[in-house]
């Protein structure tokens, strides 16, 4: 199936099965804002738990906070967001559609990359076992020509971004003959900067209302609490502060479902280190974070690092972790070495000393910071697009049938087990309820007695439930049930007393966490 069709199906599936709904749908929706349904919220909470515990539980030198969304407006002046949190936008005069100029150019780069990959794949098929990919890439004329085009464009693009040269961005779009995907024309406006922060007023106008911003990142809430946490927790450098919370950005182009939203949630760690050691820590966090992603088992080849074309004003190193979404490799998480920029700026703007006395060096300094920043929603999309599968299977009568299954990692699945009486009488429903009464203290369980067993299995597959337990007439006699495994569809007969351990072994976070050793 074409990746685009797959993505459309995924969006429809998310709505049909209570994962994600468009916000304010009965009023025709609100652009790039989404609500999470009954299963979506469970998956989201499990993602947050995986992240939070991997930080706060597994590291004795990381603690968490929960700062307010509203903050003093000077914070955003100090952080540079009022002056520099901009995206370069460009409009197409014919379609009246607005685009991010940098994204249009990135897509052009991706097209050239795709061309190279196509050549490589073709050659792979031609040469079979004896194919030497490195040599092919280094010598094939068509690949070299495309690679040289890519290098030239990439260098020109990086330079334009670094110099904030908007006219040059426009020139690149013209020279590359990039067209608007809607109108198909090259009738572009100039490129302009657009600030992404939402603002609102606090207090009544009679009092002189204060213009405040909805935070575009959670990080600043950590920086302004650095001294509070360090002192009250007697934290010693190196140490980290973790936070999960909402962030808001008035995105110019909001496309691709929950990939780019105007209201979203971030999970951020700010890790404070001794100046001069930040690049070492940056490297450590890079490795640790990619392990966190890969532990979920969606295939290591689907992740890659991407170095930034342009470093943000506060950073001296930055890399993204990208995942191969149905629409290509895209950022899921950013890892940034933010230097002492933020703490120094807050020290300057607040007039308060923000320093750490290092007893080993016998000196005070403003700590350096390595940040890891990941969007909950983008991670949600990553997981659900990796988990969504359509399979042809045999149904109960030996006929071919399509099953849609969410192969969610068991610790993240919203419902851990469904308990089903084979029929709605003979005491089977009561027995099924009894099992739930026992297991509901440990797991999110669901009772289901409607329709045939086959249909009930499909329903559970579609929401990603890893285990289905069926109570039948044998159960009353020997206290056994059948347990059916989502991925293999295999069934086995087990004693009810074993259910808790079998399930716990799969749905606990322990297996994931043990893979995260530095």
CB of 147 to ligand ATP, least distance (A): 24
Query: Is residue 369 close enough to count as binding ligand ATP by CB under 6 A?
Result: no
Query: Is residue 249 close enough to count as binding ligand ATP by CB under 6 A?
Result: yes
67, two tokens: 């700062």
Query: Is residue 322 close enough to count as binding ligand ATP by CB under 6 A?
Result: no
CB of 265 to ligand ATP, least distance (A): 8
The CA distance from 18 to 37, in Å, is 5
DSSP reduced 3-state for 484? strand
Cβ contacts of 63 within 8 Å, gap of 6 or more: 56, 229, 233, 235, 239, 240, 241, 242
CB of 387 to ligand ATP, least distance (A): 18
Taking the least distance from each CB to ligand ATP, the nearer of 213 and 264 is 264
Query: Is residue 332 close enough to count as binding ligand ATP by CB under 6 A?
Result: yes
Kindly write down the DSSP assignment for every residue of 196-215, as one continuous string.
---EEEES-GGG-PEEEE--
The CA distance from 494 to 502, in Å, is 10
Q: Which is nearest to 6 in space by CA: 291, 387, 438? A: 387
The CA distance from 393 to 425, in Å, is 30
CA distances from 100 to 28, 104, 105, 185, 346 (A): 25, 6, 9, 16, 30
CA distances from 407 to 6, 411, 446 (A): 15, 11, 18
Query: Is residue 375 close enough to count as binding ligand ATP by CB under 6 A?
Result: yes
Query: Is residue 107 close enough to count as binding ligand ATP by CB under 6 A?
Result: no
- Which of 91, 377, 461, 472 touches ligand ATP by CB under 6 A? 377
Taking the least distance from each CB to ligand ATP, the nearer of 52 and 365 is 52
Taking the least distance from each CB to ligand ATP, the nearer of 378 and 486 is 378
CB of 19 to ligand ATP, least distance (A): 16
Query: Is residue 331 close enough to count as binding ligand ATP by CB under 6 A?
Result: yes
Query: Is residue 333 close enough to count as binding ligand ATP by CB under 6 A?
Result: yes
Task: Please report which residue ranges of 99-165 form alpha helices under DSSP H.
Answer: 101-127, 133-139, 141-162
Query: Is residue 266 close enough to count as binding ligand ATP by CB under 6 A?
Result: yes
Taking the least distance from each CB to ligand ATP, the nearer of 374 and 469 is 374
CB of 405 to ligand ATP, least distance (A): 26
Taking the least distance from each CB to ligand ATP, the nearer of 249 and 458 is 249
Radius of gyration of the chain (CA): 26
DSSP reduced 3-state for 487? coil
Residues 29-58: x/- map of binding to ligand ATP (CB under 6 A)? ------------------------------
127, two tokens: 């040469």
Query: Is residue 222 close enough to count as binding ligand ATP by CB under 6 A?
Result: no
Task: Give per-residue burial for 168-207: e unless 16+ CB within 10 Å, then b.
Answer: bbbebbeebebebeeeeeeebeebeeebebeeeeeeeeee
Taking the least distance from each CB to ligand ATP, the nearer of 378 and 431 is 378
Look at strands 199-202 and 328-339 and give their pairing.
Answer: unpaired
- Which of 107, 119, 251, 358 touches ligand ATP by CB under 6 A? 251
DSSP reduced 3-state for 125? helix
Q: Mark the segment that binds ligand ATP (CB under 6 A) among 5-13, 326-334, 407-415, 426-434.
A: 326-334
Q: Mark the segment that binds ligand ATP (CB under 6 A) among 372-380, 413-421, 427-435, 505-513.
A: 372-380
Taking the least distance from each CB to ligand ATP, the nearer of 266 and 270 is 266
Query: Is residue 245 close enough to count as binding ligand ATP by CB under 6 A?
Result: no
The CA distance from 405 to 387, in Å, is 8
Taking the least distance from each CB to ligand ATP, the nearer of 267 and 410 is 267
Query: Is residue 340 close enough to count as binding ligand ATP by CB under 6 A?
Result: no
Taking the least distance from each CB to ligand ATP, the nearer of 90 and 453 is 90
| H helix and E strand count, the chain | 18, 23
The CA distance from 191 to 177, in Å, is 16
Q: Mark the segment that binds ligand ATP (CB under 6 A) among 108-116, 120-128, 236-244, 330-338.
A: 330-338
The CA distance from 214 to 264, in Å, is 12
CA 174 to chain centre: 33
CB of 376 to ligand ATP, least distance (A): 8
Taking the least distance from each CB to ligand ATP, the nearer of 79 and 373 is 373
Q: Mark the segment that binds ligand ATP (CB under 6 A) among 89-97, 327-335, 355-363, 406-414.
A: 327-335
Query: Is residue 106 close enough to count as binding ligand ATP by CB under 6 A?
Result: no
Beta bridge pairs of residue 212: 200
Beta bridge pairs of residue 326: none
Cβ contacts of 99 within 8 Å, gap of 6 or more: 89, 90, 91, 92, 180, 252, 253
- Which of 260, 293, 324, 431 touches ligand ATP by CB under 6 A? 260
Query: By CB under 6 A, how many residues form the interface with ligand ATP?
Result: 15
Q: Mark the segment that binds ligand ATP (CB under 6 A) among 159-167, 256-264, 434-442, 490-498.
A: 256-264
Beta bridge pairs of residue 247: 264
Taking the least distance from each CB to ligand ATP, the nearer of 103 and 179 is 103
CB of 238 to ligand ATP, least distance (A): 22
Query: Is residue 378 close enough to count as binding ligand ATP by CB under 6 A?
Result: yes
CB of 261 to ligand ATP, least distance (A): 4
Query: Is residue 334 close enough to count as binding ligand ATP by CB under 6 A?
Result: yes
Q: Give residues in contact with ligand ATP (CB under 6 A).
A: 249, 251, 260-261, 264, 266, 331-334, 373-375, 377-378
């Amino acid at each position: 199936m074409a990746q685009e069709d797959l993505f459309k199906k995924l969006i429809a599936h998310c709505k049909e099965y209570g994962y994600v709904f468009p916000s304010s749908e009965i009023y025709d929706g609100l652009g790039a804002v989404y609500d999470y349904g009954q299963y979506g919220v469970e998956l989201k909470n499990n993602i947050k738990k995986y992240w939070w515990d991997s930080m706060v539980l597994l590291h004795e030198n990381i603690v968490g906070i929960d700062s307010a969304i509203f903050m003093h407006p000077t914070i955003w002046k100090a952080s540079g967001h009022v002056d520099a949190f901009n995206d370069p936008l460009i409009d197409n005069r014919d379609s009246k559609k607005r685009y991010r100029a940098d994204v249009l150019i990135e897509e052009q780069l991706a097209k050239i990359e795709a061309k190279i990959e196509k050549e490589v794949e073709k050659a792979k098929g031609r040469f079979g076992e004896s194919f030497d990919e490195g040599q092919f890439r280094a010598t094939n004329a068509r690949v070299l020509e495309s690679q040289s085009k890519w290098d030239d464009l990439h260098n020109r693009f990086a330079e334009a971004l670094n110099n904030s040269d908007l006219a040059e961005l426009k020139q690149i779009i013209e020279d590359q003959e990039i067209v608007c995907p809607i109108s198909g024309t090259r009738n572009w406006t100039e490129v302009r900067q657009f600030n992404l922060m939402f603002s609102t007023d606090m207090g009544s106008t009679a009092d002189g209302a204060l213009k405040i911003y909805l935070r575009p990142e959670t990080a600043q809430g950590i920086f302004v609490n650095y001294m509070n946490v360090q002192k009250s927790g007697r934290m010693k450098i190196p140490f980290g502060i973790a936070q999960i919370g909402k962030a808001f950005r008035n995105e110019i182009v909001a496309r691709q479902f929950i990939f780019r939203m105007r209201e979203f949630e971030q999970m951020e760690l700010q890790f404070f280190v001794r100046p001069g050691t930040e690049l070492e820590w940056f490297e450590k966090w890079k490795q640790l974070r990619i392990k966190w992603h890969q532990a979920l088992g969606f295939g290591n080849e689907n992740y890659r690092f991407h170095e930034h074309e342009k470093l943000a004003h506060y950073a001296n190193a930055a890399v993204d972790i990208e995942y191969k979404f149905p629409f290509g490799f895209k950022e899921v998480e950013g890892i940034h070495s933010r230097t002492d920029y933020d703490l120094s700026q807050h020290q300057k703007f607040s007039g308060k000393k923000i320093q750490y006395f290092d007893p080993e060096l016998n000196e005070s300094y403003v700590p350096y910071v390595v940040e890891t920043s990941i969007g909950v929603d983008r991670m949600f999309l990553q997981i659900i697009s990796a988990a969504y599968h359509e399979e042809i299977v045999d149904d109960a009568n030996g006929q071919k049938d399509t099953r849609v299954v969410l192969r969610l990692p068991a610790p993240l699945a919203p419902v851990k087990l469904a308990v089903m009486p084979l029929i709605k009488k003979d005491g089977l429903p009561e027995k099924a309820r009894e099992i739930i009464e026992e297991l509901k203290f440990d797991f999110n369980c669901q009772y289901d007695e409607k329709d045939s067993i086959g249909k009930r299995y499909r329903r559970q597959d579609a929401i990603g439930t890893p285990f289905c337990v069926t109570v039948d007439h044998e159960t009353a006699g020997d206290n056994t049930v059948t347990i059916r495994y989502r991925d293999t569809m295999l069934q086995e007969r087990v004693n009810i007393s074993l259910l808790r351990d079998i399930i716990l072994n799969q749905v606990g976070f322990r297996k994931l966490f043990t893979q995260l050793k530095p």
